[in-house]
DNA sequence: CATGAATGAGTATTCATTCAT
DNA sequence: TATGAATGAATACTCATTCAT
């Protein structure tokens, strides 16, 4: 079993990717363990994204993480729970950052554009975007992952969008009142962009930023030139 | 080895699912083979959708199709090419039907609504919707499938949408001229609906038809009451 | 899963050891399968006896049986149930033969000596004797095996012994009336002989036949010279 | 490496089980080590009895003994030699006690009954009885254990029994002169009782004491009423 | 001495693929 | 053609053993 209290915290600090690791401080026992755990998470994410859950070999994860196969089992109960925990560990900090909205100064469109900018930078075309596609892919076989993702990401995102939309309607920036019933519409092009980058980028690159601007023009009924 | 010329045609005629099989009058050799092939395709689709490519067992496909395991290899070279052919066989007739647009009478909005209605009926919440999710899931591991899907479905769909959008702009029904550069926006909510039904229906059902109407209201800048 | 009806019967006919296989008749499908199953049982018995349950490798069983590893799983669900079925398949015919008593002519001592002679020939110093030791060894970890062995062998053997003892008492051949309460005493030296042969034969060989005669002399209070 | 001279002596003093440990007054280095070693031996015996050699995990032994896994290797070279030493450490004091016969006063039957009484108390239905079954179980894979057991327990026990039997014959208490050639007969029911308790107690409890009395009645040709 | 994280060889089990019938 | 028994490579997971702290 994983020893959550200590390691989870450390791993969370190390976050999801070696590129984000700060300089390693005092290399004590707990720190080493956290680093290894982070390396496993990072490696597992790469492999799962590249091959999907079933086709990913723990051998490859271990090799990529630079640990022995057995070491994985010091941190995760089995392949399934590794996948589930991995999604949590990688998703949570992203959600935290995305939902930390800037103070509501300026227009609603500015707020939404700030939000979309974050999304563009943090998700689209990144490993995390691929992770979203992975969740779409494996969700049906991992109800716990789908549940977690709905609860932590989707429902919160929808709620946040709805609040912004209602604010926009109240302030007269948004004319389409029914939009508040379907905040999914607001995010749909962004989600499509995520999937598009994963699947079709080499066939036809997509300027996600510009597409989102056009979509917001539709919603706000005006023209922006960025 | 699969004997493509003969069987592929037959299977294509039998299309994608036993429920669509017409009565087989003369039960000659070729017809029997086509029926079996169709049964395998149908069964394989169900299994692949339910478990994904890697986790699906040929044993289960064979059992579901009511044939012996070895029989599958009389129709398909191996599991991979079965998956690839399956996508082709199932997708092609759908595309054919979806792209058979009604004659361009009435407004562009009517045209698009007709198109969306077809999509709702034929895809969202159906096996074929699940197949779309499956393609999103397995695309990265099956470039040939992603290529095929892009070529046969996505690029055509985008082109068709673009044509409609340009017509709408020309006729003054659509004000947002940049929309023609991103026809993906038009389909984005429909795609989201497809994925939503697969993953989150039990958490929060989504009225796809109504959502699409709202989205069209945004684009056409008017209100419709269904 | 094993397909009991057909195969079990065939395997039962082939019994527990190639040395007992009759000439192979028409080598049809079912017969081939039964032969393989018998070969696996035979090989498994050898390996389990030599190494115990946990230390036995299915690889070795397969190699010894001359089949591929996967073939074992066509006949047995897993290692545990292979062990359990193996005990049944090997034990049952022995019990059948041992409990087929000769007609009760002559003295009770003659009857018991006939029984003991069978036991000596069929069990002590044979593979089946080793199997008894194996059951003693693995019984605690295989309650189902211990249960089966108690039900099919021990309780029947005890009952048969008790009947004979009571007959001996009734006829005045046996003076110790309390012996009927502990038929185990009658078999104890035979069991010890079984275990002795497995463990200490090379330290000090034991003439089981003579020992049993002495033991019967004790019980019947007379002298026999074989 | 184990440092036999020192530790073996200490462990031997600590004997077989923490419940037998006297209060440790001066808790110096050597004493602490001996206590740990005794704890490991005790824990190992429990685990080996419960699961057999191969299926026992050093992790479980360490946990039960309250030491770290690595500590085991400070006392024993490896799992195999731990098992071998364990048998020695546990068996030796039992033999010592059992072979410390009371002074030969009274009849031979009294002597044998005293011996049997000891055996009943010290072995049957106790951990040590289970250990006997364990030796029977693992003997074939641990020739050194079987050798040791034969040399230290079986051959001594047989010799002691033979001496008693010959004394009984000389004194006219035992009529069956051939019994001296098979002292195993004398102990057979006791051994059966040991195994019976391990395997079949829950199916049919066995009054070992009464059974032994009946057996002695057979040998001494008289009736005793406990 | 004592620890327990890390290792990696070892094993049960699965499943795509073949081929004799 | 169709079958399904047989195969054996592939893979998740375990656990005795080591060694840095």
Residue D14: its pLDDT value, please? 42
Give the span between the Cα atoms of C37 and C75, in whole angstroms. 7
Residue D190 pLDDT > 70, yes or no?
Answer: yes
Measured over the CA atoms of residue D172, residue D177, residue D181 and residue D182, the dihedral's sign is: negative
B70: nt with nearest C1' to CA: F3
CB burial of residue B78 (10 Å; 0-12, 13-18, 19+): exposed
Between CA D36 and CA D26 the distance in angstroms is 15
Position C5 scores a pLDDT of: 39
- CB of C69 within 8 Å of a chain D CB? The answer is no
- Taking 50 as the threshold, does the pLDDT of residue B24 lie above it? no
Which chains share 3+ C-beta pairs under 8 angstroms with C?
Answer: D
CA B76 to C1' E18, whole Å: 14
Q: Is B106 on the interface with A (CB under 8 A)?
A: no
Whether residues A55 and B50 touch (CB distance < 8 A) is answered with no
Chains D and C contact (Cβ–Cβ under 8 Å for 3 or more pairs)? yes
Residues 6+ apart with CB under 8 A from D191: C188, C191, C192, C195, D132
pLDDT at C226: 56
Calculate mean pLDDT across residues B53-75. 96
Please report the domains of chain C, with CATH numbers, ordered by start residue. Answer: 30-76 (1.10.10.60), 79-220 (1.10.357)
Name the percent of chain D lying above pLDDT 90.
Answer: 62
Which chain B residue is nearest to residue A219, measuring alpha carbons? Answer: B218
Specify the pLDDT at position D115. Answer: 85
Torsion (CA) D137, D139, D140, D141 in degrees, nearest 10: 90
Q: Closest chain D residue to C135 measured between Cα atoms? A: D137
Q: Measured in angstroms, what separates residue C70's CA from nucleotide E14's C1'?
A: 9
Q: Residue C28 has which token pair?
A: 């049809």
Residues of C in contact with D133 (CB under 8 A): 136-137, 140
Query: D19: pLDDT confidence band, cut at 50, 70 and 90?
Result: very low
When pLDDT is cut at 50, 70 and 90, the band that residue D102 belongs to is low
Best of A140, A162, A212, A217 to mutate (most B CBs within 10 Å, chain B): A140
Per-window interface: A 143-162 vs B, CB < 8 A: 146-147, 149-150, 154-155
Mean pLDDT for chain B? 85
Interatomic CA distance for residues C201 and C213, integer angstroms? 19
Q: Is A204 on the interface with B (CB under 8 A)?
A: yes
Lowest mean pLDDT, pick from A65-69, A195-199, C97-101, D74-78: C97-101
Work out the minimum CA distance from D29 to partner chain C, whole angstroms: 38
pLDDT at position D226 = 56
| Angstroms from A195 CA to nearest CA on chain B | 7
Distance from CA of C134 to the nearest CA of D (A): 7
Range scoring the smallest mean pLDDT among B39-48, B49-58, B59-68, D30-39? D30-39
* Identity of the residue in A137, A149, A184 whose CB atom sits nearest the CB atom of B196: A184
Which SS3 state, helix, strand or coil, does residue D225 take? coil
Average pLDDT over chain D, rounded to whole?
85
| Lowest-pLDDT choice from B68-82, B93-107, C180-194, C196-210 | B93-107
CB-contacts to strand F (7 A): A 29, 56-59, 69-70, 73, 78-80; B 3, 29, 32-33, 36, 67-71, 73-74; C 29, 32-33, 36, 67-71, 73-74; D 55-59, 69-70, 73, 78-80
For residue A28, the SS3 value is coil
Q: CA-to-CA distance for C194 and C119, rounded, in angstroms?
A: 10
Distance from CA of C56 to the nearest CA of D (A): 10
Confidence label for D192 from pLDDT (cuts 50, 70 and 90): very high
Instruction: Give residue A97's pLDDT.
Output: 79
Contacts of C54 in chain D (CB under 8 A): 52-55
Separation of CA A144 and C1' E16 in angstroms? 30
Banded pLDDT at D125 (limits 50, 70, 90) = confident
**Which of D133, D182, D196, D205 to mutate against chain C (most C CBs within 10 Å)?**
D182
Chain D: closest CA distance from residue C211 (Å): 6
Q: Is D105 left (phi over 0), alpha (psi -120 to 50) or beta?
A: beta
**Is residue D128 predicted with pLDDT exceeding 90?**
no
A169 shares contact with chain B (CB less than 8 Å): no
Cβ distance of B182 and A215 shorter than 8 Å: yes
- Looking at per-residue pLDDT, the higher value among B210 and C94 belongs to B210
Check if the beta carbon of residue B127 is closer than 8 Å to that of residue B49: yes
Kindly compute the dihedral angle of the four CA atoms of residues A170, A171, A176, A180, in this order, to the nearest 10 degrees: -50
Q: How far is the CA of D70 from the C1' of F21 (A)?
A: 13
CA of A78 to C1' of F13 (A): 8
Predicted local confidence at residue B199, as pLDDT: 92
Nucleotides of F under 7 A from a protein CB: 1-21
Across chain A, mean pLDDT equals 85
Q: Which nucleotides of E are covered by protein (CB under 7 A)?
A: 1-21
Torsion of CA A140, A143, A148, A151, to 10 degrees: 80
* Cβ within 8 Å, pair C155-D52: no
**Which of B1-15, B117-131, D25-39 reaches the highest mean pLDDT?**
B117-131
Q: What pLDDT score was predicted for residue B20? A: 41
Q: D89, D81, D68: which is closest to D15 by C-alpha?
A: D89
| Per-residue confidence band for B40, with pLDDT thresholds at 50, 70 and 90 | very high
Query: What percent of chain B clears pLDDT 70, i.e. is strictly above it?
Result: 84
- C52 contacts chain D (CB < 8 A): yes
Tens of pLDDT along D133-157?
A: 999 999 999 999 999 999 999 998 8
| C-alpha–C-alpha distance, residues D81 and D4, integer Å | 12
For residue B224, the model assigns a pLDDT of 65
Q: How confident is the model at residue D26 (pLDDT cuts 50, 70, 90)?
A: low
* pLDDT confidence bin for A202, thresholds 50/70/90: very high
Provide the token pair at A31: 């720190």
- pLDDT of D20 over the 50 cut: no
For D57-98, what is each residue's pLDDT tens digit? 999 999 999 999 999 999 999 999 999 999 999 888 887 777
Q: How far is the CA of A66 from the C1' of E2 (A)?
A: 28
**Rounded to whole angstroms, how far apart are CA atoms A221 and B220?**
11
Q: What is the per-residue pLDDT across B143-197, written as a single tens digit (0 to 9) for each?
A: 999 999 999 999 988 998 999 999 999 999 999 999 999 999 999 999 999 999 9
User: Which nucleotide lies at the shortest CA–C1' distance from C79?
Assistant: E12
**Residue C205, C-beta contacts closer than 8 angstroms, at least 6 positions apart:** none
Question: In angstroms, rounded to a whole number, what is the distance separating the alpha carbons of residues B91 and B127?
Answer: 11
Cβ-based neighbours of A149, under 8 Å, separated by 6 or more:
A87, A91, A135, A139, B199
Q: Which of B16-20, C32-36, C102-106, D41-45 has the highest mean pLDDT?
A: D41-45
What is the spatial distance, in angstroms and rounded to an integer, between the CA atom of B15 and the C1' atom of E5? 58
D-chain CB neighbours of C133 within 8 Å are 136-137, 140
Q: Which residue has the tokens 């009759």?
A: C22
What angle, 0 to 180 degrees and rounded to 10, lies between the N-to-C axes of helices C108-122 and C79-99? 150
Which of C154, C181, C218 lies at the smallest CB-CB distance from D176?
A: C218
Residues 12-51 of C with CB under 8 A from D: 49-51
Residue C13's pLDDT is 40
Q: Where would I find the H helices in D52-174?
A: 58-65, 69-75, 79-99, 108-122, 127-138, 143-149, 155-170
| Nearest Cα residue to D161 out of D201, D82, D208, D216 | D216
pLDDT of residue D69: 96
Q: Select the more confidently predicted residue: B199 or D101.
A: B199
Tell me what pLDDT residue B43 has.
97
CA neighbor of C60 nearest in space, from C40, C38, C37: C40
Q: Kindly state the tokens that stand for D153.
A: 């327990």
Q: How far is CA C73 from the centre of its chain?
A: 25
Predicted confidence at residue A17, as pLDDT, reads 42
Burial class (CB in 10 A: 0-12, 13-18, 19+), A64: middle
Nearest CB neighbour to C200, from listed D150, D182, D203: D150
Which two structure tokens, joined as six digits, stand for A96?
A: 């935290």
pLDDT tens track for A92-151: 888 787 777 667 678 999 999 988 888 888 888 888 899 999 999 999 999 999 999 999
Distance CA B200, CA A149 (A): 10
pLDDT in tens, chain C (226 residues): 333 333 443 444 444 444 444 444 456 777 888 999 999 999 999 999 999 999 999 999 999 999 999 999 999 999 999 999 999 999 888 878 777 766 667 899 999 998 888 888 888 888 889 999 999 999 999 999 999 999 999 999 899 899 999 999 999 999 999 999 999 999 999 999 999 998 999 999 999 999 999 999 999 986 666 5
Query: How sure is the predictor about D11, in pLDDT bands with cuts at 50, 70 and 90?
Result: very low
Convert the pLDDT of each residue in A2-38 to its tens digit. Answer: 333 334 434 443 444 444 444 444 567 788 889 999 9
Restricting to D residues 112-131, those with a Cβ less than 8 Å away from any Cβ of C are: none
Question: Residue A189: which of A166, A162, A173, A213 has the closest Cα?
Answer: A213
Proportion of chain A above pLDDT 70, given as a percent: 84
pLDDT in the model for residue B32: 83
Q: How confident is the model at residue D17 (pLDDT cuts 50, 70, 90)?
A: very low
Total residue count of chain B as it appears in this document: 226
**Which is more confidently placed, B23 or D44?**
D44
- The answer to whether the CB atoms of A185 and B214 lie below 8 A apart is yes
């Amino acid at each position: 079993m994983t020893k959550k209290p200590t390691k989870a915290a450390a791993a969370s600090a190390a976050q999801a990717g070696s590129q984000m690791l700060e300089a390693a401080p005092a290399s004590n026992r707990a720190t080493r363990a956290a680093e290894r755990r982070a390396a496993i998470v990072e490696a597992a994410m790469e492999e799962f994204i590249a091959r999907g859950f079933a086709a990913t070999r723990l051998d490859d994860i271990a090799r990529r993480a630079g640990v022995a196969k057995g070491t994985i089992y010091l941190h995760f109960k089995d392949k399934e729970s590794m996948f589930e925990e991995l999604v949590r560990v990688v998703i949570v900090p992203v959600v935290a950052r995305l939902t930390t909205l800037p103070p509501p100064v300026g227009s609603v469109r500015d707020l939404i554009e700030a939000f979309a900018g974050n999304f563009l930078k943090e998700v689209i075309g990144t490993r995390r975007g691929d992770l979203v596609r992975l969740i779409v892919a494996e969700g049906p076989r991992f109800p716990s992952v789908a549940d977690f993702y709905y609860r932590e990401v989707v429902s919160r995102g929808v709620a946040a969008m709805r609040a912004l939309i209602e604010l926009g309607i109240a302030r007269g920036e948004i004319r389409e009142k029914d939009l508040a019933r379907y905040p999914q519409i607001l995010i749909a092009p962004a989600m499509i962009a995520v999937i598009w980058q994963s699947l079709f980028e080499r066939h036809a690159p997509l300027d996600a930023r510009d597409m989102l601007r056009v979509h917001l023009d539709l919603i706000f009924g005006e023209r922006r030139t960025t």
